[in-house]
Each structure stands twice: as C-alpha cells, then as structure tokens.
Amino acid sequence: MTSEKFSFELLKESKSARLGKINTHRGFIDTPVFMPVGTLATVKAAFIEDIISSGAQIILSNTYHLMLRPGTETIKRFGGLHKFMNCKLPILTDSGGFQIMSLSKLVKIDKKKGAIFNSHLDGKKIILSPEESIRIQKDLNSDIVMVLDECPKLTKDKNKLSESLKLSNHWAERSKIEFGLNPKKALFGIVQGGIYKDLRLESLEGLEKIGFDGYALGGLAVGESQSQMFNVLENITFKMPKNKPRYLMGVGTPSDILGAVKRGIDMFDCVMPTRSGRTGLAFTWEGRLNLRNSKYKKDDSPINKYIQLRNSNLYSKSYINHLINSNEILASMLLTLNNIIFYQDLMNKIREAIKNNTFDQFYNKYINII
C-alpha cells in the first residue's frame, strides 16, 4: 500500500505505548519501528535485499557523510539514494548535526551561516547551513528529511543548552522555508534541551508553532544514563502531538527501545545491531552472546534455529567463533544479519503486544533479559 501524501495514523494506544502506521508514496511503515542505519548508503556487512527480507520497512542514511563521500552530485545523477543503493524502502536522512558535533574537531557555529567545520576526511573547510542541509537531502531524494540542529554534547550547563535550543529552533524555521511544499515527503523538527524539562517543553512549543510532519527528540544517547533518558521522555512525550510520529534519535539497545515505547515513542534508529555484529556480539531472546568467548568453541547449536534467511540457522556457534577469531568477514555478515532480524522481530512482537493489550506483560518479561 502506498500513498501519494505523507501521513501518520494512530491506530491504538495501550497506556502510553502507541500502535500506528506511516503512509508514504514508497509504502507504509508500521510503528513502533526500528530503522537500520545505512550511513554511507549501505547497512554495513549486509545486502540491501537481506535488510528488506528481515522485515525492515525504512532505513536511515546520513547527509554529512554522503555529502563528503561520494558527494551529492554523484548520487543526484542516479535520481537519488534509492536508485544509487538499489533500495525500494523509504529512506530517512539525518541532517548531519550530530556528526558535526561528534566528528569535527574544529567547529564554529554561526547563527546566520550555519556550521563551519573541517571535514574529518581531508580537513577541507565546509559550511553547512540549514538551507544547504535541506537542499542536499532533496538531492538525495529522501522521504523523511530532518532539520539541521545543533546537537550539544552532554552537559549540565543550562544556559548553554538554552542558547543551543534557540539556535536549533531558528534553524528549524529556516529549514521549513527551504523545504517548501512537498506533500510526498516529510520534514521532522528536532526537540533539544538536554535533560531539562522546561527547556525541552520550550523547544517543542517553538517547533509546534513552525509546524512539522513529525517530531524527533535529539540530544539523547550522548552519554546520559538510561534512567535520565527515560525521565526526559516522561517529561516531554505527553505534550507531543498525538497525530504526528515521534522519533527518538540514535537509540538504542533492546531495553532502551522497550522503555521508550512504554513512554510513547514510535521510531528508532541505532548502529547497535550492526556495530555489535561486527564485534562478535549476537542479540537473542535469551540475552546477548559474546561469540568471541572460548566457551562457544565446541557449541554446535545455531544462534537462532528459526532464522532461515541465508541459511543462518545452519551455521553453528562453534563455526562463527572460528570465523571471528580468524578475522573472517563472514562472521560480521552472519552476526549483522542475526541482529537486524532480532531487532525487526522485537518490533513485530512489540506491535503485536500493543495490539493485544499485553505490552506491559511483554515489557516485564523481557526488560531485564534482552
């Protein structure tokens, strides 16, 4: 099912947990949803066909990285990311704000010009304005576009956070003007404000006045504790528009996702399942397995006997332990696939639990296991 116009439908609420559906011209997206991260137009160590077969309904790519390499013009020649990377799924692109904060050593923030920084690849000076970020995302042909924001590092300096959110809201307004009218696409605003309730509410109020197709929570997953993150969610989600999708950026672990769904979040992305796969970690319903560990050297059982994609259920833990300790690429591929499938299975089970009014039981069963 596709829709010529981007829209969101809230289907059911179970306390604060929400079941919904995002409609796009490339297909629908069931929420709560987890988006595999394809930063550089690829989900690392995975074929895009396998990502689609895993049940993923949308992926994420990154403006900052793609504008540096291969460059916007290269992707534009193909008509956008979908044809460039052979992906039929909807694509959300992050604006680059987080990467500017985390990767660039020398960043100057100018209210008018935007972010002035040096490329982490070759040191080249780059100016990324709110307007330029939107133009790049249009050239990438993104389905969900994010406004450029300033994503401050973890700090308790309330004055600094206050100034940052004011700047981000100013840039959000400029992003909205540059985005214009694009009914097939969506533009999301990003709520900032650190761990402070009043700042988060101030940021949200400003963004609502501008008006967006969805609202993201940024500035989390930057070093705060899980309890701090959950506290922020409890203080803000009850004020977020019910008829718009809510996106928690850069989160997270399975327990992070369970806790955030319980507090009213609809959308997630994180490198956790893919990065963990490349370091030998497997997510399962019995908990996480570190397959580097020597105890798996003689374990003939598969990680998950039910995963038939790429015949994953035919590979033993013993074999994968051997691949990891031999630095074979296949280990990363098998574990990445396992973890992506686990995350999609998690989201399916969460949606079913909300639908059947059993989310609290599901949450209590797995919150301390996975």
| Phi, psi torsion values for 46, nearest 5 degrees | -145, 145
The residue assigned the tokens 């004011």 is 166
Q: What is the arithmetic mean of pLDDT over 203-216?
A: 98
What are the C-alpha distances in Å from 198 to residues 195, 203, 227, 251, 298?
9, 9, 18, 22, 55
Q: Which of residues 115 and 233 earns the better pLDDT score?
A: 233
Mean pLDDT of the chain: 95
- Long-range contacts from 224-229, C-beta under 8 angstroms, 24+ separation: 224/154, 224/195, 226/255, 226/256, 226/259, 228/195, 229/256, 229/259, 229/260
Q: What is the arithmetic mean of pLDDT over 93-121?
A: 84
Q: What is the arithmetic mean of pLDDT over 220-235?
A: 94
Per-residue tokens: 338: 């396992």
* 153, pLDDT greater than 90: no
39-85 pLDDT, tens digit each:
999 999 999 999 999 999 999 999 999 999 999 999 999 999 999 99
The partner residues of 145 in beta bridges, in order of sequence, read: 93, 187
| Residues carrying an active site annotation | 94, 269
161-172 pLDDT, tens digit each:
999 999 999 999
**19 three-state secondary structure:** strand
Q: Give pLDDT, residue 184.
A: 95
Question: Cβ contacts of residue 341 below 8 Å, gap of 6+?
Answer: 54, 55, 304, 307, 309, 312
Q: How confident is the model at residue 127 (pLDDT cuts 50, 70, 90)?
A: very high
190-208 pLDDT, tens digit each:
999 999 999 999 999 999 9
pTM of whole model > 0.75? yes
Q: Using CA atoms, how far apart are residues 20 and 150, in angstroms rounded to an integer?
A: 29
Per-residue tokens: 227: 């309890």
Neighbours of 269 (CB within 10 A): 24
Q: Which amino acid is at 365?
A: K
Q: Give pLDDT, residue 104.
A: 59
Q: Give the chain's domains with CATH numbers.
A: 7-270 (3.20.20.105), 271-370 (no CATH)
What are the C-alpha distances in Å from 276 to residues 43, 272, 279, 346?
13, 6, 5, 16
DSSP3 helix / strand / coil % (the chain, rounded to 5): 45, 20, 35
The helix (run of H) or strand (run of E) holding residue 247 is strand 246-248
* 89, pLDDT greater than 90: yes
Burial category of 325 from C-beta neighbours within 10 Å (exposed 0-12, middle 13-18, buried 19 and up): middle
* 1, pLDDT greater than 80: no
Q: Give pLDDT, residue 105.
A: 66
Q: Give pLDDT, residue 190.
A: 97
Q: Give pLDDT, residue 103.
A: 67
250-303 pLDDT, tens digit each:
999 999 999 999 999 999 999 999 999 999 999 999 999 999 999 999 999 999
The helix (run of H) or strand (run of E) holding residue 350 is helix 329-355
DSSP codes of every residue in 156-183 = --HHHHHHHHHHHHHHHHHHHHHH---T
| 329 touches 343 (CB < 8 A) | no
Q: Give pLDDT, residue 154.
A: 83
Q: Give pLDDT, residue 222.
A: 86
Q: Using CA atoms, how far apart are residues 300 and 157, in angstroms rounded to an integer?
A: 53
pLDDT above 90 covers a percentage of the chain that reads: 88
